[in-house]
Chains A and B, each alone.
Chain A
């Protein structure tokens, strides 16, 4: 396994009873790149990423996160990862300030750094005016922003986002996209899943397409266009072409 890559997955398998959700998945994500993992519903994207985040145990395979073996040293691996699911992990009875302090406490961030980063994130994500209100009345977009701030407060090296733009309005979606790109520019690795193919096309350095728990296609947008039989010019065309080919095979 390469210690230079942010994520290396080899032969990952996850079964739920008789159903194989992840089927010998191999994946390499380089440091400092924005990688989009795409696939039809039920392809195994979320299950794979939940295994990487430490929420599920694999039945087989190996995972290395920034050179740390995730299965042998899960605590060290979790220290450098942030996981943001499509349903924001936010507590109704806590305020955004308390939530961020709590997450910082879990990742053992120094109090001075916590305060500095928390204030900056609240400002950046336009949460300052609701910083002392409990999250129970927040819209889904607001909750998503609080959860995103929580994912960023411990400055992870690998940020895994499952449908991060769900529920955000257009201006905030653009804001989040810019925020992610800025993090990538500082060397952070971002892996995201999305069904909005334009977002993946515009944001990502590389794209992987997963189907039936296996990576069936991977590369930059240009490589995907060149490699496929599709004559289309958009990611949507490429994606639909790949999925159709795999279904026929």
Chain B
């Protein structure tokens, strides 16, 4: 055990912390090492915003009496959602931190016990999971403590305990998946599973908006009927811990510590075995590609377009990240479709959702085309006009984005022809805007193994993409109501936004 807290462990921990800070800096779009005071500044701004939003939410909230069964059930449901989200985030981090880092040759050739590496990686996953949950949860809890009583501070250790449990479960799940489906598939599957968990939570959050308060009322009634039953006692344990029940809090913390110890003791050997496999996974037999009848042809444009399409469609890791980005829009679409079908809204409510969804897909595909091009210099040395290269890229990506957009567009055309036509125009504009914003602003990356969009694509580019797509939606929305003047003004605004984004693009240094 002493080895685990040795100087070497501290060195590896410091290394992990440095890499994590660089990861945050990457997401912020920093080109050079981000200084701690800048990171602190960014965090301060984000925290202030979250405090503000939390304060607004609390202003509208009614009295939160811990003895009220409805409060207990509401807290239980929300904590369950939070925990599912924590496990999904931890699973994604675990698959990456445990098996996709590619530095095990260095780690295992260093004079370190392998358990140290597992401990450090587990702390990394725990840190990320806690930071994500704490960033959103802590401000709300602190405000609750200030405004409604100090007992709400018990929520802070509760979040730590939940993050620890989520880490232990996620690492266990990641290792189990490696045993079942192998390392390569685990990386993709963990990411997809994480996205599906997030999707499930988002759908559940919308449940009351769709089906009304009935299901929750039934739960409250069940709890009131027999609050002392073992099932309800266990189910409401985190909620009671959050409202200051010290026995419940001790129980949750003890469970979390027990799970973490069991994970560490029980899985260390398996981790080392799998990690050694992961280190050599790049050297496994290459996949045999199905012979395709599609020819690269004799036109450079056709060759480039086919190459882009083939590379994108053959990379499930990159493709899953794009689908994941879009998956969070599905609950919004589902609610809108439900409301349209039930007559609460008309079909036009779907148009902005479709525009943003298709633009995001096009933007994501552009990011793939830019970052997945391991041999971008090859096309630069080819005898072709540079404008042709850009056109080929846009052509290939548009084609794929149109494939995603076609089914909902056709449905919309059947339900409401005018809304369908406006959507068609909006989707075309959104695809072009999504592609252009990424071409102008997305930094070109050296493709090294399994890059992750959320880790490598600056948040600023995502925000710019979203801004451009919202402008397209704003421009086309009035058309549905026949307000052509507003549509023209919106179009001018959208064009001006794109012009500003074009002018603000970084200049090439070559």
Contact = CB atoms under 8 A, between A and B. Distances in A.
B212 interface: no
A127 B377 CA distance: 23
Contact of B377 (A85, A101, A109, A134): A85
Contacts of B384: 75, 78, 106
A94 B306 CA distance: 11
A108 B300 contact: yes
A241 interface: no
Q: Specify which of A53, A75, A109, A130 lies most central, judged by the most chain B CB atoms within 10 Å of its CB.
A: A75
Contact of B314 (A75, A76, A93): A93
Interface stretch (B169-177, B221-229, B279-287, B419-427): B279-287
Given A90-B375, A93-B311, A79 B296 contact: no
A83 interface: yes
B246 to A, nearest CB: 55
B383 A76 contact: yes
Contacts of B315: 93
Given A89-B375, A137-B284, A111 B314 contact: no
Interface in B293-351: 295-300, 302-304, 306-307, 310-311, 314-315
A150 B283 CA distance: 23
Nearest to B378: A89
Interface in B370-423: 372-375, 377-385
Contact of A138 (B286, B383, B385, B510): B286
B286 A137 contact: yes
Contact of B296 (A53, A90, A92, A104): A104
Contacts of A133: 286-289
A91 B289 contact: no
A7 to B, nearest CB: 15
B291 interface: yes
Contacts, number: 117
A105 B296 contact: yes
Contact of B311 (A54, A88, A91, A105): A91
A110 interface: yes
Contacts of A82: 381
Interface residues of B, number: 40
A132 interface: yes
B285 A137 contact: yes
A95 interface: yes
A75 B383 contact: yes
Contact of B310 (A57, A85, A93): A93
A238 interface: no
A50 B289 CA distance: 33
Contact of B302 (A88, A98, A105): A105
B483 to A, nearest CB: 47
Contacts of A122: none
B381 A137 contact: no
A108 to B, nearest CB: 5
A132 B291 contact: yes
A55 interface: yes
A158 B510 CA distance: 23
B289 A134 contact: yes
A95 B395 CA distance: 23
Given A130-B286, A137-B285, A106 B382 contact: yes
Contacts of B509: 16
A102 B311 contact: no
A103 B300 CA distance: 9
Contacts of A200: none
A102 B296 contact: yes
B299 A108 contact: yes
24 contacts: A54-B380, A75-B384, A78-B381, A78-B382, A78-B384, A82-B381, A91-B374, A91-B375, A93-B310, A93-B311, A93-B315, A95-B289, A102-B296, A104-B298, A104-B303, A105-B299, A105-B304, A106-B378, A108-B298, A108-B383, A110-B298, A137-B282, A137-B283, A150-B378
Interface of A: 16, 53-57, 75-79, 81-83, 85, 88-95, 98, 101-111, 130, 132-138, 150
The 9 A-B residue pairs with the shortest CB-CB distance in the complex, in nearest-first order: A105-B303, A137-B286, A89-B375, A106-B382, A105-B296, A79-B383, A78-B383, A93-B314, A101-B296
